[in-house]
Amino acid sequence: MDKLKLTEKEVEKWLDKIEPFIDQIQLSDEKGEEMMENMKAYISDSKHFLGSGDLVRAFEAVIWAWAILEICTQLGVFQRPEQ
């Protein structure tokens, strides 16, 4: 049971960390807009899975959102404020 609570907290921690970036990211082009929509969809999916108790899929979805953020930043599709 403790592991489940820890996992819920872990998913919530990563959701809380990524959400502030959404309004701060500048998009370079249409591809940036498309990737932002994908990132938002994974964040939404993570919340949905978290709410239904599917912790594995919730964590997986938030990790995909982070992957999109990091990859798009490295490719110059997203510009993050701390850069």
**Which CATH number is 32's domain given?**
1.20.1270.90
Q: Which domain holds residue 32?
A: 10-78
- Listed as own residue / partner, the contacts of 46-51 with beta carbons closer than 8 Å and 24 or more positions apart are 46/11, 46/15, 47/15, 50/8, 50/11, 50/12, 50/15
Residue 4 lies in a domain: no
Residue 45 lies in a domain: yes
**pLDDT single digits (tens) 54-70:** 999 999 999 999 999 99
Is the pLDDT at 1 greater than 60, yes or no?
Answer: no
Residue 5 lies in a domain: no
Q: Give CA–CA dist 58/56, Å, rounded.
A: 5
Query: What's this model's pTM, rounded to 2 decimal places?
Result: 0.88
Q: How many domains does the chain have?
A: 1
Token output for 67? 């992957």
Question: In this structure, how many other beta carbons lie within 10 angstroms of the beta carbon of residue 16?
Answer: 9
**pLDDT single digits (tens) 4-51:** 565 899 999 999 999 998 999 999 899 999 999 999 999 999 999 999
